[in-house]
Structure 1
């Protein structure tokens, strides 16, 4: 079977025949070698025997193909990531093909085994970008992976060096040709992660109009001013996708715990008159740290709350903590260590360094953040006081360190370590739905206390669609 590129993709091409030819040639070589060996002395015979054995083990002129360690697919509304992981750096080429739209990737020196053949089963019907994936032996020594697309994409293909528990990774990020706009999505449906239709099937634009013009139908009778001036809280569930975060002794992944708590907190905020919440991610996929900050700024957030579950080398460490950004160094060695660990999320999750905008990064770092950090402290103290009602506090004061995810220059931002997932008792509580709800309630109370005592003078106005 051949695709429209004219290349064999089904594993029934000349590769199998070439293998038989090589095998026959090797057999003839052995017969000639045997005849010649009868006239050799003992030392030459031993040398020739070693060469003959090597000839029998591997085909002439070809290194043994390598197997992949793992393949993973991470769909999200904003992009889908495909990760191919190997023990050695992968050699590859890729091209986009149209009519129908496909991304074709050729892997050199890779064996077509059960790992690659499992790719089709990893694609969800709900994936916004991938229709299906298939893999086959294209030609000797080359496996072709064909990704059939639902829409045109702007693929970003890059490699990652080994880090953490991962080997060499080839990453295929399938981005839409039109960049996702979180502010427009928020206008349409309150959250950029929600579907484009209302829950009752109405068009999202009609839903947005109803939400902004008919305040009495939401939040138990809000007045017009309350609906037109909303506080926006961006909730950032730590880690995701390729980056599991900390892993508890019981096998719990930080990325799952943080998402569950963030979703609970979002529902509580959305039910509160005059407030709304936006998630930086609403699924198991990776979002680079700078993009989390950028999304908060694009939706004009009033607060940014990054949710995590701490880990330490000693399992007895326990308690909740709250951190804010420091421009001058960490408030403790533990805070410095934690910030470095959290900032390494981009290395584990996998950032395409060639695509980073250095100017934006420098702007965020160069802007004066003194006033914002002071407000972050106020938010942090309010949250810390509430967290102490549901869990022991690891440190009684808000700490500081250089967390990359807290670098929004104009948004009060905190990083909350809800508990130590590395502590067996706290790991069990973090996986308990009732405890997650208590934690979300505590964070909610802290946010409300902050707005009551330090309300921004100009809350975000709700945009209306005409």
Structure 2
């Protein structure tokens, strides 16, 4: 029996409908997975096409972490990453009709933390899972011994390589990532500081992994650092921008951190400038913190000016004076801190220099020269440098907003002695002027 005309029409209608019907759509697609391993945790970052619903839980015997994502598909281009840190393998599969299950095989038990990130810069939606080992982890930054040997302890410089891991920083015209340059400069800077008599350096980051901004200066405090240097490579929308810069914390940033420090109970029991705040009332604690911050900011300003002057001898600086900004990494209340923008990575010529090991060696040498100059005249008490230092007049480079009377007050000298040593008749000083601080009236 032959099919009727109406049957053929029905079949054709069905085929036409099947062709125009949309394929099954999902709320999000898992596109890629990247893994970064740090000294204290492993970070897994999923690139996804949009927001999604997910659930994370752990299993034992063997140790696994399971990630379930609803109304989600997985890209055909998705590839499981190699084993790294506590992560020994990754498996994927379907979860019902409209979901994806990802299983992390683990080398040990973990405490997971997860969160979604919205698009930022060149990055799209991301699902981040941090895997913290349950067992104790050796700290990333070594704490120097508290006991002071007969010859005096070494001056400790904490070096922070900016960005890292999932945060690559700025990108140069030729594709160089800022995080790669900052780590290379930081390692060279450590090598040269370790070669200095009476000095040693610790690296806040010594690999390609992410560290939160507040954790960076906290690690410097844990290492009992005498100085914190954060290394960066600036970017600007105009490729012609060039030159190095040195930053210290703005007054606004210091005020914000002081308020946070006093409000946080875990901070009040800590040491700030050698004084515990946990047994002080709020008024006294605020006064003690203000004194500590004032001394720290003055020391930051002094060492930053020494470094900037040394970098001027290397080449062009972006500004002739130390700049101030509200950078989170500079907010330590009791560790002098500065941020060095080594160059503009967005400038093709400077990007090429930053990729040159010989230039990085000269760049690090200029920073070390400034640090050495500062500590030779203001060595921390109890250090080898303090016991071996020869009396030298301290220098102060005038910054914006400073007056002669304010400089005298900060250094603990009389206004008359400051005028006399520098043969100044009035009270007028200019930004960039280098003043000699009287030895007899100076602290220490």
Q: Same fold (TM over 0.5)?
A: yes
Q: Report Cα offsets for 1:183-239 as digits up to 9, x if no partner.
A: 8x625xx7xxxxxxxxxxxxxxxxx9xxx99xxxxxxxxxx634x512111000111
Q: Report Cα offsets for 1:265-310 as digits up to 9, x if no partner.
A: 1112223332221111111111110000111111111100000111
Matched, 1:170 2:132: no
Task: Select the residue among 149, 164, 184 that pairs with 2:106.
Answer: 149
Deviation at 1:32, TM superposition (A): 9.8
Q: 1:54 to 1:361 in 2, by over 3 A?
A: farther
Whole-Å separation in 2 of the counterparts to 1:244 and 1:74 = 12
Aligned to 1:305: 229
Q: 1:92 to 1:378 in 2, by over 3 A?
A: same
Deviation at 1:101, TM superposition (A): 0.6
Whole-Å separation in 1 of the counterparts to 2:15 and 2:104 = 47
Find the residue that maps to 1:225 and give its secondary structure.
coil
Matched residues, number: 353
Question: How does 1:11-90 map onto structure 2 within 5 Å?
Answer: 35=10, 52-53=17-18, 56-58=21-23, 63-64=25-26, 66-90=28-52
Question: How does 1:321-336 map onto structure 2 within 5 Å?
Answer: 321-328=245-252
Q: 1:360 to 1:320 in 2, by over 3 A?
A: farther
Matched, 1:381 2:309: no
Bigger Cα displacement from structure 2, 94-103 vs 321-330: 321-330
Superposed CA RMSD: 3.2
Q: 1:89 to 1:54 in 2, by over 3 A?
A: farther
Aligned to 1:186: 142
Q: 1:84 to 1:140 in 2, by over 3 A?
A: same
Whole-Å separation in 2 of the counterparts to 1:310 and 1:70 = 29
Name the one with the larger helix percent: 1
Task: Select the residue among 291, 309, 318 that pairs with 2:215.
Answer: 291
* 5+ residue gaps, structure 1: 1-30, 39-47, 191-207, 214-223, 331-356, 461-466
Whole-Å separation in 2 of the counterparts to 1:139 and 1:98 = 23
Whole-Å separation in 1 of the counterparts to 2:12 and 2:173 = 61
Aligned to 1:139: 96
For the 8 Å contact 1:270–1:277, the answer to whether it is kept is yes
Deviation at 1:361, TM superposition (A): 8.1
* 5+ residue gaps, structure 2: 1-5, 255-262, 273-284, 385-444
Aligned to 1:123: 82
Whole-Å separation in 2 of the counterparts to 1:370 and 1:32 = 91
Whole-Å separation in 2 of the counterparts to 1:382 and 1:114 = 55
Q: 1:34 to 1:295 in 2, by over 3 A?
A: farther
Aligned to 1:13: none
Deviation at 1:360, TM superposition (A): 5.8
Question: How does 1:139-288 map onto structure 2 within 5 Å?
Answer: 139-178=96-135, 180=137, 182=139, 186=142, 225-226=150-151, 229-288=153-212
Task: Select the residue among 406, 412, 426 that pairs with 2:350.
Answer: 426
Q: Report Cα offsets for 1:236-283 as digits up to 9, x if no partner.
A: 011111111111111111110010000011112223332221111111
Whole-Å separation in 1 of the counterparts to 2:77 and 2:150 = 57
Matched, 1:91 2:53: yes
For the 8 Å contact 1:182–1:299, the answer to whether it is kept is no
Bigger Cα displacement from structure 2, 258-267 vs 103-112: 103-112
Task: Select the residue among 111, 126, 133 that pairs with 2:73.
Answer: 111
Q: Report Cα offsets for 1:17-41 as digits up to 9, x if no partner.
A: xxxxxxxxxxxxxx99965999xxx
Whole-Å separation in 1 of the counterparts to 2:196 and 2:115 = 43
Find the residue that maps to 2:154 and give its secondary structure.
strand
For the 8 Å contact 1:58–1:64, the answer to whether it is kept is no
Q: 1:434 to 1:154 in 2, by over 3 A?
A: same
TM-score w.r.t. the length of structure 1 is 0.69
Q: Report Cα offsets for 1:382-432 as digits up to 9, x if no partner.
A: 111111122211111111111111000000000001111111111100100
Aligned to 1:201: none
Deviation at 1:146, TM superposition (A): 0.9
Q: 1:49 to 1:327 in 2, by over 3 A?
A: farther
Find the residue that maps to 1:133 and give its secondary structure.
strand
